[in-house]
Amino acid sequence: AQRVTQPEKLLSVFKGAPVELKCNYSYSGSPELFWYVQYSRQRLQLLLRHISRESIKGFTADLNKGETSFHLKKPFAQEEDSAMYYCALTSETSGSRLTFGEGTQLTVNP
């Protein structure tokens, strides 16, 4: 069974501070991991995925298969980063079906 765990429901940092949103997963095969973001009054949208290995809006995430983690990081948080962040997983057998974590509400204070 696939499972995604985001241990922090709430995370608060100051502008300019580093931020790390934690994500752990359980899946025995080869997963594809994603971070989705939902800004206030906007729809859920893809932030980044591990296969592209790209940085979006200064965020990066590295898949650590040994620790089954996919933590989202940004060295200098901005106020506009305040949003709800969801880690999600799919697999070679589930196609585009996503399994989401419960989400972390990030607040970046001025």
Instruction: Indicate the SS3 state at residue 21.
Output: strand
Question: Smallest distance, Å, CB 76 to other proteins?
Answer: 27
Q: Which stretch binds other proteins (CB under 8 A): 23-31, 54-62, 72-80, 99-107?
A: 99-107
Q: Which of 28, 30, 40, 96 binds other proteins (CB under 8 A)?
A: 96
Q: Which of 46, 62, 64, 65 binds other proteins (CB under 8 A)?
A: 46
With residue 99 as reference, give the H or E element that holds it: strand 99-100
25, burial (CB in 10 Å: exposed 0-12, middle 13-18, buried 19+): buried
Interface positions with other proteins (CB under 8 A) = 4, 6, 9, 32, 43-46, 49, 51, 86, 88, 94-103
